[in-house]
Structure 1
Amino acid sequence: MALPPSTANWHWKNKNVTGWGQEWFERELTTISIQGDKEGEVISISEVTEVDGDIELGQRKSKLITIFDCKISLAWTGTTSEGTEVKGTLTIPEVSHEIICDNLSEYVYNWSLTTQSSTDVNALFALAKTRLPTALETKFATFPSAIIDTHGKDLTVSADPSRVGTPAPGSGASTPAPAGASTSSAAPVKKLTEKKAINTSTVTVEANFQASADDLFGLLTDEKRIPHWTRAPAKSTAQPESEYSLFGGGVKGKYVSLTPSTEIVQTWALQSPTWPSEHAATLTTKLEQSSDSTKVTFSLVGVPKGQEDEIKRNIEGYYIHGFKSIGLGTEL
C-alpha cells in the first residue's frame, strides 16, 4: 500500500544528479562572455575542462535540500583591443551549497595565463580577474534552483513539490453526506492552507557613482544596457506592472512605478532555495544627482529575518560592484 504524501515526504530520500550537474556547468558556464571598456575587448569561457565532486538532491520532512561540493576547472579566451588572442585557465576549488546558499565561505580563484605576456595581454588578464568572478558567481547562484526545478518532482510525493518544507496538500477526498441530506445546493468546501507569516526587515545600501542620474536610470532599466554591468542575460520593459529578470533569472519581479532619473520601485525576489517560496520584497532605488556624481540608495523592504547580511552582500557585490566594473567608480 502506498504511503500518503504527508508520510512519504517525511522520510529521507536522495538522488544523485552528478552527471546532470556536470552537463549543466559545461553548458551554462560557456555562455558567459563579458565586454571590456575598450572597443574590441572581450573575454569568454571557452570550455569547462573538469567538474570534480558529487551533486545530490535530498528530501526529508518535505524539504528539498541541494548537496554539492565541486571543483571546477575552466579554459578562458579573450581578445585585446589590438586584436591579440589571449588564453588562460581558471580553477575554482570549491563551488558548494555552503558557499552559495549558506555563505559560510567565499570563492577562491586560481588563475593562470598561457599566452606570452605583454602589456596588452597583461591588461586583458587583469580584466578577466576583475570581471569574470561576478559573472561566474551570478551563474552559480542559479544552480541550486536548477537542481530543484529539474529533479524535485522525482523525490516529492505530490503534484506540487515543496521547496521550503510546506507539507504536501491532502488527497482532496470528500466525506460522504449524511443520509437524507441534500447535495445539490452546496458546493464542496475546500480546506484553505494558511500561509505562514514571514518576519522581515529592511536592508539599505548607498553608493556614489561617477555618472548622471539619467545614465544610471537607463543602466538599471534598459534591457539592452543591463547586461553591461550584470554580465548576464536580462529581461526588462520599463513600465509599471511589467515583469523583469536580472542576472540570468537570479532575481525576478515586477516594476511598480518608475520616475525617470529619480526613482524606481519594483518587487524583488531572489531565485534561491534560501528565499521563501512566493515571497517578494520591494526594492526602491532613489537617484540623487549632484554636480559631479549621483548618490544611489537601494532600499529593500521585506527581507526575511536572518538573511539581511547575505542580501546586503548581494546588493554590494552584484549591483555596486557591477557598476564599478564598467568604470563608473564608487564611494561606499
Structure 2
Amino acid sequence: MAVWGSGDPRWIVEQRADGTNVNNWHWTERDVSGWSSERLRQLLLAVKVDGPEGTAAITDVNKLDGEASINNRKGKLFFFYEWTLRANWLGTSCNGVKFRGTVDVANLSDENDMDDLDISVSLCKDQPNTPLLDLMKKRGVPEVRRVLGQYVHQLKSEFSQGMILPTTDQPKPHQPPPVQKNQKSSAPRCSSSPAPSPTGIRISTCSFKLEETFQTSPDELYRTFISQEFVQVFTRSAAEVDGRRGGRFQMLDGSVCGEFTNLVPDRRIEMRWRFRTWPSEHYATISLQLEDRGDDTQLIMDCRGVPVGEEDATREGWRRFYFHAIKQTFGY
C-alpha cells in the first residue's frame, strides 16, 4: 500500500464535498435519453415553413427510437446518441386545401455530420401530388436539419455541465461583482428582503411579467388553462386539474403543481404555482389577465415570488410549455 501522500494522485480521494470521481479519472455516465426524446419532439413540432405554394408544418412525431448518453473518462467527454425519427407534416395550399405527409430521419447519430443526415420527405399514399411537397423538400428539410443541429448543440452544452468536476488545486470560477442598487438592469426585479416560506426557510425571490397574443377568444383561452382535458392535450402528458377556486392541479409528470386561488371566468386566473425542484412548500403567485382585443386575446402574466436563480428557467418554461405549446396544439 502506498504511503499517504505519495501514491498516484489520480486515485487519491481528496477532501471534497462530493468525494466522487477525483481528478475525473473514473468512467462516469449520464443517461439523457429522456431529455433528448422530449427536446427532439419540441424542436420538431416548431418546424413551419411558408412559400408561394402555401404553408407546411410538422404536426406530430409518431416515431422516436434511440438513446443518448454523456460519458466522462480521464477528464474527457464522449457523447453518444443514435435516433431514428418519423414525423407527420400538414400542408395548407393558398386556396385552403390540406395535404398530409411524413418526414423520416434514419441516421441522427454521433457518427454522422449534420450535413450527412438522410432526411426524406414524402406525401401519404392517399394524397394527390402538390407543390407543397417541393416546399417541404426545399425549405422544410433545411429547417429540420437546423433544429436537429440545435439539439446536438444543447446536448453538448447544457447537459455536459457538471460531468467534469473541479479538483482541489483548480481556482474557483470567477464570480461577477454584485449589481449596485443604482444600476439599471433588464433582469427581473428581486425583492429587497427574503421572503419567508411555510417551512420557516427564508429565501430571496424575484418577479417578472410576460405578454403573449393568442388568435382566439378569451373564453376559449380561459378554458384551455383550467380544463384537465385541454391541459393534457397541450402538455402531451397526464394531468390532474380541478378548474375551480381552491382546486389543485398537477402536470408535466409532477414537475408542476399548485392551486387556483381566484378565477374570474374569461377574464382572470390567479394561482399558487411551484416547480418541484424549488424549496419545499414554496410557491410563486401567478396571475393571468385576459384582454379581449376583437380578433385576438392579449394575455398578461404577472409572476411573483420566484426563487432567485430560477427566474430564467421559469420564464422560459412558461413560454415553451404553456404559451408555445398551446399555440402549436390548438392553432391559437
Identify the TM-score tier after normalising by the shorter chain.
Answer: 0.5 to 0.7
Task: Give the TM-score normalised by the residue count of structure 2.
Answer: 0.54
Work out the CA distance in 2 between the residues paired with 1:69 and 1:261.
51
Structure-2 change in CA distance of 1:72 and 1:300 (3 Å): farther
In structure 2, the partner of 1:101 is none
Identity %: 18
Following superposition, the deviation at residue 86 of structure 1 comes to 3.3
In the alignment, structure 1 residue 240 sits paired with structure 2 residue 240: no
Report SS of the residue matched to 2:66: strand
* Residue deviations 1:212-263 (CA, integer Å, cap 9, x gap): 1001011112122224433444331212333212333332212222221011
1:86 aligned to 103, 122, 141, which one?
A: 103
1:74 aligned to 57, 76, 83, which one?
A: 83
Conserved 8 A contact 1:253-1:268? yes
Q: Following superposition of structure 1 onto structure 2, how do residues 64-213 of structure 1 map, counting pairs within 5 Å?
A: 71-80=80-89, 82=99, 84-89=101-106, 91=108, 113-115=119-121, 119-120=132-133, 123=136, 126=140, 129=144, 195-213=200-218
In structure 1, the partner of 2:60 is 43
Work out the CA distance in 2 between the residues paired with 1:90 and 1:298.
41
2:258 aligned to 253, 259, 273, which one?
A: 253
Structure-2 change in CA distance of 1:292 and 1:114 (3 Å): closer
Name the amino acid aligned to 1:316: R
Work out the CA distance in 2 between the residues paired with 1:116 and 1:23.
28
Structure-2 change in CA distance of 1:302 and 1:29 (3 Å): closer
Conserved 8 A contact 1:45-1:75? no
Task: Give the TM-score normalised by the residue count of structure 1.
Answer: 0.54
* Residue deviations 1:21-56 (CA, integer Å, cap 9, x gap): 367569978999979999xx852252433424138x
Report the count of equivalent residues. 237
In structure 1, the partner of 2:293 is 290
Report SS of the residue matched to 2:228: coil
Report SS of the residue matched to 1:114: strand
Report SS of the residue matched to 1:211: coil
2:70 aligned to 43, 47, 53, which one?
A: 53
Structure-2 change in CA distance of 1:194 and 1:250 (3 Å): closer
In structure 1, the partner of 2:177 is none
Name the amino acid aligned to 1:279: H
Report which structure shows greater RCO (CA 8 Å, sep ≥6).
1
Long gaps (5+) in structure 1 = 1-8, 56-67, 94-107, 145-192
In structure 1, the partner of 2:268 is 263
Conserved 8 A contact 2:32-2:70? no
